[in-house]
C-alpha cells in the first residue's frame, strides 16, 4: 500500500457544480483522517494510479465499534504526532475530518482542497469549527444511511403499535393477558425532510401500507415515490392533526432548529408517535418531555437529542413511552464499505474534474 513518501501535489479542486474536460495528470495525496479498515483503505489506494495514499492506522484513534469514525485517541509520542502533522500537511484530499484538530484544518493542511465527510449532516460541525468559511469543498455521506434509518423509523412505529413496552413489562412480571394492538397499514404519517433519508423512509413506510404526507421547504416542488400529499413546513399545524405519526428526517439548519415545539406537539392527535432521525435540536426537548409525560403523545422513538450523550438526569430515560437509541440508528456493519464506495466514485470525479456528489451547500446548510 502507498506509504507516506514524497509525491507531487495537485493544485485546486473543482468548485461546487463545476465540471471540466481535462483530467488531472498529477499525483493526488489522499489522507485517511479517521479510523478505517485496511481493506477499504486498499480499495482507495488502488482506485486510480494517481492516488498516493496517506494512511497510518497506528496513528488514528482506536474504533470502539465497527463504523466508528471518532474512536479513542491514542497516547502518541512526540515523534508519532510529528508524523501525523506531516501526513496531514501533505494532503490534497481527505477522507473525513482531521481527528486531532478539526478547527485548525486550514492551517495544518494548507494544500487541502476537498474533505469527504462520513456523516450526512455536517452543517453543525462546519459552523462550530469555523470551517464553513474555509476555501475547501465538503461532501457528505448523504444516501449511505438512508436504508438503516428508514428501517429504524419503521421499527419505532411498530414498537409502539404492537405495544412492546407493555409486553416487556408483562414479561418481567410473568403476566399473561390477552389484549389488542394497532396495525400500521392504513395509518397516516407526516414526514419532515424529503432528501436521501426521507425518500428511503417514504418508500419503506408506503410499502407497509402507511399513507405519507411529505413536508418540504416553501416554494419547492417535490416528486418522492410513496408520498401521497405535500405541504411546506409552515403548514405543520394544519397537517399534524390528521397524523398518527410524525417522522423527522430533515437536516439541522436555522430553518429547522426548533421546528417542532409545543404548538406542533399539541396539534398531534392523542397517542400519536414521534420518530426523530434528524437532530435533537429540531424539537423542543422540554416540550416533548412534557407531552410524553402527560400521556398526550403515545410514544417517541429517538436516535438524537439536544445534548449528547443524553445526560443521566434527563427525564427521557425514565419515561416508559420513550425508546432511546444512542445516535446509532444509521450505523450498520456495511457503513464503511458504502462510504468507501461513495468516496471512490467522488475521487474519480475529482481526478476527472467532474462535479462531485453530495457537495455541501453553504447557503442551504446541507
Secondary-structure class of domain 28-143+333-351 per CATH: alpha beta
Q: Is-contact 61 73, C-beta < 8 A?
A: yes
Domain boundaries, the chain: 28-143+333-351, 146-324
Helix (H, G, I), strand (E, B) or coil at 207: helix
The terminus-to-terminus CA distance of the chain in angstroms comes to: 34
CB 34 within 8 A of CB 97: yes
| CA 185 vs CA 20, 56, 189: distances in Å | 49, 51, 11
Residue appearing with cell numbers 504526532: 81
Instruction: Tell me the CATH architecture of domain 146-324.
Output: 3-Layer(aba) Sandwich (3.40)
Does residue 15 have a cis bond before it (omega within 30 degrees)?
no
| Separation between Cα atoms, residue 91 and residue 283, nearest integer Å | 39
Q: Is-contact 17 354, C-beta < 8 A? A: no
State the Cα–Cα distance between residues 281 and 259, nearest whole angstrom: 9
Furthest-apart CA atoms within the chain: distance in Å? 72
The pLDDT value recorded for residue 363 is 86
Q: Among 313, 354, 269, 325, which residue's Cα sits nearest to residue 156?
A: 325
pLDDT for res 133: 95
Q: Which of 43, 80, 55 lies closest to 4, judged by CA? A: 55
pLDDT reported for residue 364: 86
HSE-up of residue 337 (Cα within 13 Å, Cβ side): 4
In this chain, the answer to whether the domains covering 28-143+333-351 and 146-324 adopt an identical fold is: yes
CB under 8 Å to 49, separation ≥6 — which residues? none
Tell me the mean pLDDT per 10 residues along the chain, length 366. Answer: 38 37 75 98 98 98 95 98 98 98 97 96 93 97 95 98 97 97 98 96 98 95 96 96 98 95 97 97 98 98 98 98 97 95 98 97 88
| Per-residue three-class SS string for 86-105 | HHHHHCCEEECCCCCCHHHH
> What is the secondary structure of 89-154 as a DSSP string?
HH-SEEES--SS-GGGHHHH-TT--EEE-SSS--HHHHHHHTGGGSS-EEE--TTTSHHHHHHHHH
Amino acid at each position: 500500500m502507498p506509504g507516506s513518501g514524497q509525491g507531487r501535489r495537485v493544485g485546486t479542486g473543482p468548485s461546487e457544480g463545476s465540471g471540466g474536460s481535462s483530467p488531472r495528470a498529477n499525483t493526488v495525496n489522499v489522507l485517511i483522517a479517521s479510523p478505517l479498515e485496511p481493506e477499504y483503505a486498499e480499495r482507495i489506494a488502488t482506485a486510480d494510479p494517481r492516488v498516493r495514499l496517506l494512511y497510518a492506522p497506528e496513528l488514528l484513534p482506536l474504533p470502539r465499534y465497527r463504523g466508528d469514525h471518532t474512536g479513542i485517541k491514542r497516547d502518541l509520542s512526540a515523534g508519532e504526532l510529528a508524523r501525523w502533522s506531516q501526513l496531514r500537511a501533505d494532503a490534497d484530499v481527505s477522507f473525513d475530518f482531521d481527528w486531532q484538530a478539526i478547527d485548525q484544518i486550514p492551517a495544518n493542511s494548507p494544500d487541502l482542497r476537498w474533505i469527504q465527510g462520513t456523516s450526512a449532516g455536517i452543517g453543525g460541525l462546519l459552523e462550530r469549527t469555523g470551517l464553513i468559511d474555509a476555501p475547501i469543498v465538503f461532501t457528505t455521506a448523504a444516501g449511505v444511511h438512508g436504508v438503516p434509518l428508514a428501517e429504524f423509523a419503521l421499527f419505532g412505529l411498530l414498537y409502539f403499535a404492537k405495544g412492546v413496552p407493555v409486553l416487556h413489562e408483562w414479561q418481567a412480571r410473568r403476566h399473561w393477558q390477552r389484549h389488542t394492538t394497532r396495525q400500521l397499514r392504513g395509518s397516516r404519517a407526516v414526514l419532515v425532510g424529503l432528501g436521501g433519508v426521507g425518500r428511503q423512509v417514504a418508500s419503506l413506510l408506503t410499502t407497509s401500507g402507511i399513507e405519507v404526507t411529505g413536508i418540504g421547504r416553501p416554494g419547492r416542488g417535490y416528486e418522492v415515490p410513496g408520498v401521497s400529499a405535500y405541504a411546506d413546513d409552515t403548514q405543520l399545524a394544519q397537517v399534524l392533526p390528521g397524523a398518527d405519526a410524525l417522522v423527522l428526517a430533515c437536516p439541522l439548519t436555522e430553518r429547522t432548529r426548533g421546528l417542532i415545539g409545543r404548538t406542533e406537539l399539541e396539534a398531534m392527535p392523542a397517542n400519536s408517535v414521534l420518530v426523530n432521525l434528524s437532530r435533537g435540536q429540531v424539537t423542543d426537548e422540554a416540550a416533548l418531555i412534557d407531552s410524553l409525560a402527560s400521556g398526550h403523545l403515545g410514544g417517541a422513538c429517538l436516535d438524537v437529542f439536544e445534548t449528547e450523550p443524553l445526560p443521566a438526569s434527563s427525564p427521557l430515560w425514565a419515561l416508559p413511552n420513550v425508546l432511546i437509541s444512542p445516535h446509532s440508528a444509521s450505523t450498520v456493519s456495511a457503513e464503511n464499505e458504502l462510504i468507501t464506495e461513495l468516496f471512490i466514485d467522488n475521487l474519480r470525479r475529482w481526478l476527472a474534474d467532474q462535479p462531485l456528489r453530495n457537495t455541501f451547500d453553504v447557503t442551504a446548510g446541507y
